Amino acid sequence: MQDFLLEIWEEQRKTVVLVTHDIDEAIYLADKTVVMTAQPGRICEMIHVDLPRPRRYEMRSDAAFIALRDHVTQIVRTEAIMGSALSAVH
């Protein structure tokens, strides 16, 4: 499905907004990835995904992809910890 969406995008070049909890999917499909905070949902960080196009599944093992995934994962983990701490206070 992801490759199908990329094919459509490559043909039509339309703006697409995709909401996902899958970090790999976000990096694979996006030019920009937005990480949201926990409640309330606000933009925590916008990450420019500077990976070459056309994108292919095999690129998920590239060092640049892995570095981006690790960066986004760390942001999400930090936000989850902060969100849990705030929930415990309230």
Which residues sit opposite 31 in a β-bridge?
none
Domain coordinates in residue numbering, the chain: 2-89
pLDDT of residue 40: 81
Q: Which spans in 1-90 are helix H?
A: 2-12, 23-29, 63-89
Does the pLDDT of residue 90 top 80, yes or no? no
Summarised one tens digit per residue, pLDDT across range 7-52 is 998 899 888 899 999 999 999 999 999 999 887 889 999 999 999 9
pLDDT of residue 87: 65
Which of 15-19, 50-54, 57-61, 83-87 shows the lowest per-residue confidence on average (mean pLDDT)? 83-87
pTM score of the predicted model: 0.83
Residue with tokens 């996006």: 30
Peptide bond into 54 cis (omega under 30): yes
